[in-house]
Homo-oligomer: A and B are copies of this chain.
């Protein structure tokens, strides 16, 4: 017989790293009816901005916030999440839910398995973002309609994810990392490589059109977000690139094979349309 553990409702939530994602989660919780306290742990400048825009009601150091918290949301850069996981467990009460918003999951889930024993860790990845960063761009509706991946179930966390309008997806960390390698990290590197190719051809700029504009938008992303992703998902990104290169080589071999190219365009068009229906 399976006993479903009832997780207690949250009264105090601590958000570590109150930027765009952390601030938006705080605003989304509030908008969805969360009545408890939301504490922010961040740099002095960030907590000032977060208090001012109403994302958090209180700012405390990590070691003072954690003993009071029912849930802890780590919305820092990946490498900082890994560091926070090393320091966290000594301050939390037994059973405190710890979750995160890191864009890769295997390294974080593995670190948590080694460091979190008093608390209970559930890896998370809310798949939303904006071009503007920082808590001033925080938005209670940022996650609405967007996927929110969890690496394992948690009743209360799932309840809030659904209340704030995100689409819950449960995926093991390794499968999450493999899939985002294909669907997110590969597109980024293709866009970066294409813009970099254009940099070698200034004359091409004069005749670039919407195709070139579309495919280089991601290349505007700053590297500092990507450093940690490349460092913590290297093997899956390498595999996605290798598989894509093999696909491009097949296209090269088939450039004048009308039937093969028609099939490739049809298959791609179908997938592009399916993507637009599902997202």
Residue numbers of A with Cβ under 8 A of B are 127-129, 146-147, 149, 169, 171, 175-176, 179-180, 182-184, 186-199, 201, 203-223, 226-227, 230-231, 234, 237-238, 241-245, 247-249, 251-252, 255-256, 258, 261-262, 264-276, 278-279
Contact = CB atoms under 8 A, between A and B. Distances in A.
Q: How many copies of this chain sit in the oligomeric assembly?
A: 2
16 contacts: A147-B206, A183-B198, A191-B268, A196-B264, A197-B244, A197-B247, A198-B275, A205-B278, A205-B279, A212-B275, A213-B275, A216-B268, A216-B272, A227-B262, A230-B261, A238-B255
Task: Rank and list the top 7 A-B pairs by shortest CB-CB distance, nearest first.
Answer: A195-B268, A223-B265, A199-B271, A219-B272, A216-B272, A219-B268, A183-B204
A199 to B, nearest CB: 4
Contact of A218 (B215, B219, B223): B215
Contacts of A183: 198, 201, 204-205, 207-209, 211-212
Given A179-B201, A237-B255, A268 B192 contact: yes
Nearest to A199: B271
A207 B231 contact: no
**From A205, A256, A258, A262, residue with most partner B Cβ within 10 Å:** A205
Nearest to A171: B207
Nearest to A278: B205
